[in-house]
């Protein structure tokens, strides 16, 4: 069976990294994060940790402090529905103190405290000096009233705002990239523990907090997935991000075992509190909503809070420290955009990464979808972040070669909070790595080759028909194509029985042939229904399902051109490449017959990607022709009133930005994400900010949605 590829650690940006590079990389990571996917570097395919992500943002702030990324409220925007909840005030994120090492982190925290205290206006100052391990910022004690700052755990979940009118739940929206236009998850939250449909009092307000999956519930989720043979979740946050986005079938959220913990209330008329600690007491006593505890900040508590995380039943990765008085918080303002920038009155202290030094007893190898072999170190269990750890990724062959890692090496393993452990370095016992000469899946020869950078060395299987690669490729096709409910174990069963070896084979399956793989009639019926994308098949009887399957088989499956292209899993050619190609060529036939030179003319398609695309189509002509018998790629209208015009959207739109982008594209227009000379118009809503300023500088006309509608 093909196993999930092991991820790799991020190489920090070099001195040659430009602001444009950083904006591109950060935007890519933001999108993956909000989709609940593993965050990997777009150039090196290496895993990006929280601390490395923070380093990227800090370097961008140094190179381009006016970057539009700093006016966004959170990591990214995941778009699965046109329904939006407009957040007022916007939902923002919080600046972080680096946790590369304790000294750097302390210095940043003390600098922030000193600046915040200096900015405050105290009528009476109680002289209180606070230090960490006997040190203070610039060797001078910092004095402030003891009640000036508060502290609370920083949850590692999915941010959400739940709106109530006269005590009744009326809508709920996730935190988006712009902080304003959040995905509407009102239907889904009725299945989330801790979100009441009615408040004890008839209040009109919004309650903000984090959606989480408790660790005890996450164990149950993983156990259920193991029993059904489905792919396990990477971590509770990824599971939560996907679990709340059940737009086609909101009731599925109930099976996700999600919970809610509040951290703020907004929009409450004449609130009976003036501080964060007072707000916590109000929520706890009056509303009965689970609320993360807020208490007065003390330096000595930071270590205690970190030591206690093993006793908490959910993921936390740090402590929020902020000005306790809500009015003073507001007076301090925000970084960047005054509406959506990060608040100056708060900072996040991230927990240090714990480290252990075990000796490697064995090294296990796994083959992934693209034929790359990844390795995992196995060692005697060590205690990290409150859990026993006995396995950690060794990343790629290049990492092992550079660090001379082998069986018997003593390694440094780190784990931030309760996240996946990783190998940082070798302490002693270095030796030449013993790379397997045969693939663990198909026993064919392996070979070493250079990866995406000179520092990367990859071990790959030379067999293009390797079962591990084929099964992973088939699973990738289904997932990208939008097929739900057909896990890896089912695909493996179909593959090993010879029923499915290429994507087109899925559409030739009927119930009887699928049963020949060893499935019961009900299991076979559900599998074929999933392939035919019949909604909620588990709620239908076999008789009803069989009729629906018979009808679905008679019709070709329509799929957007870009999505069909992305489902092929061509290395370095992702969904964004598919969209760029669809916009440029318009038809699938033109894409598959384009030369490398023609492909390189497309935005975001470089020479390496262009070569990978042409090589793929040359090697898979028969498989693609077979698939096209069952699938019809569709494109948006190429001609219309807006043909030849390019639009950029910025700000808040009650209908959602995607609504207007679809309106434009359906009339032949093109939409871009950034303001440049290529854009003909900027359509601006409230909170447009820097994009409107840039449009004015470039003399690009700025439209309202009313003016845009008049062009239709």
Q: What is the mean pLDDT of the chain?
A: 80
Strand, helix or coil at 375? strand
CATH class of 355-461: mainly beta
Cis? peptide before 409, omega within 30° of 0? no
CATH topology of domain 559-634: DNA polymerase; domain 1 (1.10.150)
Residues of the chain with CATH 3.40.50.10190: 646-710
For residues 208-234, average pLDDT:
78
444-478 residue pLDDT tens: 899 988 765 445 688 889 887 788 878 888 888 88
pLDDT at 322: 93
DSSP assignments along 488-503, one per residue: HHHHHHHHHTTS-SSH
CA angle 54, 59, 64 (to 5 degrees): 125
The C-alpha atoms of residue 682 and residue 688 are separated, in whole angstroms, by 10
The C-alpha atoms of residue 408 and residue 431 are separated, in whole angstroms, by 8
pLDDT, greater one: 368 or 198 = 198
pLDDT at 664: 84
For residues 351-365, average pLDDT:
86
pLDDT at 688: 66
For residues 660-664, average pLDDT:
80
For residues 34-61, average pLDDT:
64
286-336 residue pLDDT tens: 888 899 999 999 888 888 888 788 788 888 888 999 999 999 998 888 887
pLDDT at 140: 56
pLDDT, greater one: 194 or 465 = 194
For residues 123-137, average pLDDT:
43
Element at 425 (helix H, strand E): strand 422-428
Residue among 308, 309, 356 nearest 215 (CA): 309
pLDDT at 539: 75
**122: pLDDT strictly greater than 70:** no
pLDDT at 31: 58
pLDDT at 420: 62
For residues 142-160, average pLDDT:
88
Please give the order of strands across the beta sheet that includes 149-155: 96-97, 346-350, 316-323, 149-155, 295-296
Strand, helix or coil at 265? strand
486: buried, middle or exposed (CB in 10 Å: 19+, 13-18, 0-12)? buried
265-280 residue pLDDT tens: 998 888 999 999 999 9
Residues of the chain with CATH 1.10.150.20: 559-634
- The CATH number of the domain covering residues in 153-351: 3.30.470.30
Question: 149: pLDDT confidence band, cut at 50, 70 and 90?
Answer: very high
pLDDT, greater one: 5 or 31 = 31
Query: Which of 52-66, 232-246, 497-511, 537-551: highest mean pLDDT?
Result: 497-511
CATH topology of domain 646-710: Rossmann fold (3.40.50)
**33: pLDDT strictly greater than 60:** no
Question: 263: pLDDT confidence band, cut at 50, 70 and 90?
Answer: very high
454: buried, middle or exposed (CB in 10 Å: 19+, 13-18, 0-12)? exposed
Strand partners, 159: 210
Percent of the residues in the chain that have a pLDDT greater than 90, as a whole number: 21
Residue 134 backbone zone (phi > 0: left; psi -120 to 50: alpha; other: beta): left
The C-alpha atoms of residue 393 and residue 364 are separated, in whole angstroms, by 10
pLDDT at 80: 37
Question: 411: pLDDT confidence band, cut at 50, 70 and 90?
Answer: very high
**403: pLDDT strictly greater than 80:** yes
The C-alpha atoms of residue 64 and residue 681 are separated, in whole angstroms, by 24
CB distance 682 to 673 below 8 Å: no
CB distance 553 to 508 below 8 Å: no
CATH class of 467-555: mainly alpha
């Amino acid at each position: 069976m093909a196993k999930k590829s092991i991820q790799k650690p991020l190489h920090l940006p070099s001195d040659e990294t430009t602001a444009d590079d950083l904006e591109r990389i950060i935007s890519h990571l933001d999108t993956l994060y909000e989709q609940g996917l593993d965050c990997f570097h777009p150039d090196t395919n290496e895993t990006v940790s929280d601390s490395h992500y923070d380093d990227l943002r800090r370097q961008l702030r140094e190179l381009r402090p006016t970057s539009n990324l700093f006016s966004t409220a959170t990591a990214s925007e995941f778009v699965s529905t046109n329904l939006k909840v407009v957040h007022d005030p916007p939902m923002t994120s919080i600046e972080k103190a680096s946790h590369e090492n304790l000294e750097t982190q302390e210095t940043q925290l003390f600098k922030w405290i000193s600046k915040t205290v200096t900015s405050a206006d105290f009528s009476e100052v109680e002289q209180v000096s606070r230090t960490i391990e006997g040190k203070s910022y610039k060797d001078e004690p910092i004095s402030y009233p003891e009640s000036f700052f508060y502290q609370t755990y920083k949850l590692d979940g999915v941010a959400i705002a739940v709106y109530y009118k006269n005590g009744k739940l009326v809508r709920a929206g996730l935190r988006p990239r712009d902080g304003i236009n959040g995905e509407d998850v009102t239907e889904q939250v009725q299945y989330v523990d801790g979100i009441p449909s009615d408040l004890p009092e008839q209040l009109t307000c919004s309650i903000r907090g984090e959606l989480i999956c408790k660790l005890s519930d996450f164990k149950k989720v993983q156990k259920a997935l193991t029993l059904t043979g489905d792919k396990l979740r990477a971590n509770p946050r990824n599971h939560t991000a996907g679990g709340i986005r059940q737009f086609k079938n909101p009731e599925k959220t109930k099976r996700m075992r999600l919970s809610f913990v509040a951290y703020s209330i907004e929009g409450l008329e004449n609130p009976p509190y003036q501080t964060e600690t007072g707000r916590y007491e109000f929520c706890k006593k009056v509303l009965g909503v689970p609320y993360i505890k807020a208490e007065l900040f003390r330096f000595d508590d930071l270590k205690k809070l970190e030591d206690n995380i093993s006793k908490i039943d959910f993921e936390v990765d740090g402590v929020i420290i902020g000005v306790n008085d809500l009015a003073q918080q507001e007076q301090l303002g925000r970084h960047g955009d005054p509406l959506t920038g990060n608040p100056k009155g708060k900072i996040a202290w991230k927990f240090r990464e714990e480290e252990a030094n075990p000796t490697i007893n064995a090294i296990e190898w796994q083959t992934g979808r693209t034929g790359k072999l990844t390795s995992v170190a196995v060692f005697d269990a060590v205690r990290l972040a409150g859990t026993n750890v006995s396995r950690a990724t060794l990343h790629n062959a290049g990492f092992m070669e550079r660090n001379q890692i082998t069986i018997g090496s003593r390694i440094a393993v780190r784990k931030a909070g309760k996240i996946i452990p990783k190998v940082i370095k070798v302490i002693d016992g270095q030796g030449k790595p013993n790379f397997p000469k045969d693939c663990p899946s198909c026993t064919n020869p392996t070979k070493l080759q250079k990866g995406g950078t000179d520092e990367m060395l990859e071990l790959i299987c030379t067999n293009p028909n390797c079962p591990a690669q084929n099964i992973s490729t088939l699973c990738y096709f289904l997932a990208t194509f939008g097929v739900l409910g057909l896990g890896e174990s089912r695909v493996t069963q179909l593959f090993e029985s010879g029923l499915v070896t290429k994507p087109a084979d899925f559409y030739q399956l009927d119930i009887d042939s699928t049963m020949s793989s060893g499935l019961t009639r009900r299991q076979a019926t559900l599998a074929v229904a999933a392939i035919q994308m019949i909604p909620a098949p588990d709620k239908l009887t076999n008789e009803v399902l069989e009729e629906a399957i018979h009808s679905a088989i008679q019709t070709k499956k329509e799929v957007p051109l870009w999505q069909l292209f992305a489902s092929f899993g061509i290395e370095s050619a992702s969904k964004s490449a598919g969209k760029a190609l669809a916009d440029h060529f318009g038809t699938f036939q033109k894409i598959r017959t384009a030369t490398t030179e023609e492909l390189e003319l497309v935005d975001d398609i470089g020479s390496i990607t262009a070569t990978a695309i042409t090589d793929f189509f040359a090697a898979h002509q028969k498989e693609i022709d077979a698939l096209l018998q069952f699938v019809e790629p569709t494109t948006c209208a190429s001609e219309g009133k807006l043909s030849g015009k390019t639009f950029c959207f910025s700000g808040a739109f009650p209908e959602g930005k995607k609504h207007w982008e679809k309106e434009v594209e359906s009339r032949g227009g093109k939409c871009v994400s950034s303001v440049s000379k290529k854009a003909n118009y900027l359509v601006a809503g409230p909170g447009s900010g820097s994009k409107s300023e840039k449009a004015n500088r470039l003399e690009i006309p700025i439209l309202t949605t009313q003016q845009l509608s008049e062009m239709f």
